[in-house]
Amino acid sequence: MSYTTLLFEVLDGIALATITRADKANALTDTVINELGHLARRFRDDSALNALILTGAGPKAFAAGADIGELAGCDPAKAEALSRKGTRIFREFELSPKPVIAAVNGLALGGGCELAMACHVRIASENARFGQPEVLLGICPGYGGTVRLPRLVGRGRAVEMLTTGMTVDAAEAHRIGLVNRVVPQAELMQAARALAATMILPAPLAVAACLRLVDSQDALDLDAALLAETVAFAGLAGSEDFREGTGAFLAKRKAAFQGR
């Protein structure tokens, strides 16, 4: 599929998808959301793709929220359909068994912040800003902002951001745990690619298990989460990658994982 709002590239098994609406601050129109949905499924199903980096075109914005022109035309039924679709698509990135990295190159507001939070890891350029300003438009987040933000930064900070519409710069986002690291803008994509390359070196089944276990624990009590980890640990002990990894370690050679 060819995209009209995304630029899709692949290098050494690492996919890069860039939202290409720089003149509109990469706002998330219905078309962008639909194409992100196709991208999520494409990434999931293509065994040649091992990691995905999401970013925005231009120096100003990762994605500056919804397209307000489209949003203003919503009635309750349209708003519910929009929220359900966006939530489902963002969740597909979050549930990916392969790493998804947000390279936040500027404004990540509203739906853009929610998209970044649905990625497994966030790297920000020094000029990035984050926020959920929906209350200033008379609405609340609709793609998971009230759910993911407290889990990343804590309840108190999330409530402050959500109820005031305030934005935070990259340094503050890093301090409160919203992003993993901050780099100069000129180094952003290099840093994202380097991280992706590091994340695809270990055994794919083990990486997928870690991503799944981290995601699922929010719905489990402590004992159930610990049991889920034990089950995954035991299951991986029967994999070819486990035998390869331990054998390579003992033989002092580099492991050649196959995802089996």
Going by the DSSP 8-state scheme, the letter that residue 142 receives in this structure is: S
Q: Is the dihedral of CA 16, 42, 99, 177 positive or negative?
A: positive
Going by the DSSP 8-state scheme, the letter that residue 28 receives in this structure is: B
> Could you tell me if 18 and 6 are in contact, meaning their C-beta atoms sit under 8 angstroms apart?
yes
What DSSP assignment string belongs to 167-225? EEEHHHHHHTTSSSEEE-GGGHHHHHHHHHHHHTSS-HHHHHHHHHHHHHGGGS-HHHH
What is d(CA 31, CA 36) in angstroms, rounded to the nearest whole number? 9
> Could you tell me if 92 and 44 are in contact, meaning their C-beta atoms sit under 8 angstroms apart?
yes
What is d(CA 251, CA 133) in angstroms, rounded to the nearest whole number? 55
Beta bridge partners of 100: 52
Give which of 246, 222, 226 is closest to 236, Cα–Cα. Answer: 246
Non-local (6+) Cβ contacts of 213 within 8 A are 225, 228, 229, 232
**Block residue for tokens 């503050």:** 172
Q: Which residues are catalytic?
A: 114, 134
